[in-house]
Structure 1
Amino acid sequence: MDNSRTRQQTPARVGTLTITFDDGPDAEYTPQILETLRHYGVPAVFFCIGEQVARYPDVLRAIDAAGHAIGNHTMTHPHLTELPNDEIRKQLTDAANQIEATIGKRPHLFRPPYGDMDERVERIARELGYQPVLWDVDSVDWSGIPGPTVAANVLPHLKPGAIVLQHAGEHAEGTPAALPYIIEVAVAMGYDWVPFMSKS
């Protein structure tokens, strides 16, 4: 019996990937993203802005109810390296308070807006109990590019253990269209989508 066709349909697993979404929640793109993740059974991390949580608390509750991890993306999305220490702490604490007031739990993961983090910002975040999380693959979807371009920015750069950066907020109109394709092609390449796991 020739099993070559079966082998082709079930490629050897080559590693794991984690998908993350910044800048949400919002009322337009985040629900579409949640539906796609539900359809494929893919877990994600949503790094949420406190001001957005205040605007769309029900969407944050939907993220939490779906079992996805929620991280702190500051209160107002500033460049943290340009702020004094007390303002950095306030950005993280205010966002955490907003998230906790909405879903009853505080985040433990943190992603600095724009990836703007130096030793000082990282030290303050860790003092507050956060694990900073950056990324390995940037979809550049925040720039308003269409779905095929979003996918093209992701798929060629995947590697085992990669953290993929996408967005669930304003200007990320290409993300909902790209997401099913990214998920399916990555699985066909032999990757499994998994929850965030610390690399440290």
Structure 2
Amino acid sequence: ITAVTSFDSLHAAHPRNLLAVSSPIWLANVPTPTNIVRNYPKDEDIKVEELTDHAPLADIAKYPPAMKQPPTNHPEVQSVMRQLDWTKVPSIVPKKLTNGMFDLTKYDYRNDSDCWWSASVCRQPKLDYLPEDVYQCPKPGDWGLTFDDGPLRVWSTNSSLNQWQEPRLYNFLVDHGKQKSTLFFIGANVVAFPAAAQRAIKDGHTVCAHTWSHVQMTALTNEEIVAQFYWTLKAIKQVLGITTRCWRPPFGDVDDRVRAIAWLMGMRTFLWDRDTTDWSLAGYGHGSILTNKVDVIIKDWIMAHNNGTDDEHGHIVLQHELNNLTVSMAEKWLPAIQKEFNVVTPHACMNIAQPYWEDTFTYPTVANKPETTTTTTENSPADVSHSLSTSKFALKNFALEIFFSVGVAIALFK
């Protein structure tokens, strides 16, 4: 594992005195599987194929229950707590949730001292030793493709629903130009469906963390935040052999306290500036909007790109591998999006070539597209653009999203 001191700065216009961080030493001894991908693949090694293994991680019982807050008194969590520099974490009181929604009545969102996204859509930390969030692509015409909440496993006896689980989306991406994306994985889903997670990295996708149980992180204590991050990072390391350097907060809910803890644990915050709202599609008995609303949103983006009114920068787009409707929406629109935009990962458009602490992985970027070597393995023990992201919209939908966005792995754990 290489000890890189800091991430690339995001915008030269906002120079920051970044706090140096290094690879998490508390993950160094996590066992990893044999015959896993250890570098970025060549395109000819990426193929459409089905998964034959749907079993959970063999020692899944050693992990916390799925979609529940991991306990903070676990020895491994306590060990991490002792190794973090808490002088770099601001003393911000956890936010208050009522019925799944935040109470903003007493928060000064205009001053926004906490850089709290849910209140102000703030993405530039007040603390200059933290990097600015990654939330858009600098170059006009770039479309940063992302999918949250995977890897998708449908716990059903209904074959018409099961067909939508992975590798459905991953095969579709292979079929359409071997398209790469950034995948924000829920930790509980990784240990529940490790073969799908391994397939994702084998296909050249970038894997980032999306917490253990998909909760509003600013409502948690410091200890609870560490537990969410730790078990997710451990799951990704044990299943994929990588230590990811990126994460996305569920619902976008992040402030400088959460950012600081993530940074100390080796991760930079990734958000978005365009929300497809696919997560609120009416399906599986949940959601509230019809598919034609998402259609209109994407059509408007394409129109703005073509008529020249969207020419300041590229975008990072929020999508999900959540259920049949989100996957079918991705399948419906990706060909048209590829025709109009340069579809890349957020890391590629930001020229971040090494998304993991392991230096064996070097991904191509828009500025540097190196020839890839043969894939090897190693044995080892807002609005339509972003006003939909305003706090008012987010608050209305917090309760709805949390109700349906975390159910795919619950059935496996008791």
Band of TM-score, shorter chain: 0.7 to 0.9
Residue type of the partner of 2:346?
F
> In the alignment, which residue of structure 1 is the partner of 2:168?
32
Instruction: Please tell me whether residue 187 in structure 1 is matched to residue 344 in structure 2.
Output: no
Q: How many residues align?
A: 185
Name the stretch that deviates more: 33-42 or 112-121.
33-42
Matched residue of 2:184: which SS?
strand
TM-score, reference length from structure 1: 0.83
Distance 1:65 1:140 in 2: 28
Q: Is the 8 A contact 1:147 1:176 kept in 2?
A: no
Distance 2:325 2:291 in 1: 4
Distance 1:85 1:157 in 2: 39
Q: CA deviation at 1:52?
A: 0.8
> In the alignment, which residue of structure 1 is the partner of 2:294?
150
Q: Is the 8 A contact 2:148 2:184 kept in 1?
A: yes
Residue type of the partner of 1:175?
T
Matched residue of 1:96: which SS?
helix
> Rg larger in 1 or in 2?
2
Matched residue of 1:167: which SS?
coil
Aligned CA distance change for structure 1 residues 132 and 155 (closer, same or farther; 3 Å): farther
Q: Is the 8 A contact 2:185 2:207 kept in 1?
A: yes
Instruction: Please tell me whether residue 175 in structure 1 is matched to residue 326 in structure 2.
Output: yes
Matched residue of 1:18: which SS?
strand
Distance 1:199 1:89 in 2: 28
Residue of 257, 262, 269 corresponding to 1:120: 257
Instruction: Please tell me whether residue 50 in structure 1 is matched to residue 187 in structure 2.
Output: yes
> In the alignment, which residue of structure 2 is the partner of 1:196?
346
> In the alignment, which residue of structure 2 is the partner of 1:4?
none
Q: CA deviation at 1:157?
A: 3.2
Distance 1:199 1:85 in 2: 32
> In the alignment, which residue of structure 2 is the partner of 1:66?
203
Q: CA deviation at 1:148?
A: 4.6
Residue of 130, 143, 153 corresponding to 1:17: 143
Q: Is the 8 A contact 1:77 1:113 kept in 2?
A: yes
Distance 1:55 1:153 in 2: 33
Residue ranges of structure 2 left out of the alignment (5+ in a row)? 1-138, 154-163, 283-289, 303-309, 353-414
Q: Is the 8 A contact 1:150 1:175 kept in 2?
A: no
Aligned-pair identity (%): 29
Q: Is the 8 A contact 1:125 1:131 kept in 2?
A: yes
Structure number having the greater strand percentage: 1
Structure number having the greater helix percentage: 1
> In the alignment, which residue of structure 2 is the partner of 1:88?
225
Instruction: Please tell me whether residue 134 in structure 1 is matched to residue 251 in structure 2.
Output: no
Distance 1:140 1:167 in 2: 9
Distance 1:14 1:118 in 2: 28
Aligned CA distance change for structure 1 residues 24 and 137 (closer, same or farther; 3 Å): same
Matched residue of 2:208: which SS?
strand
Matched residue of 2:167: which SS?
helix
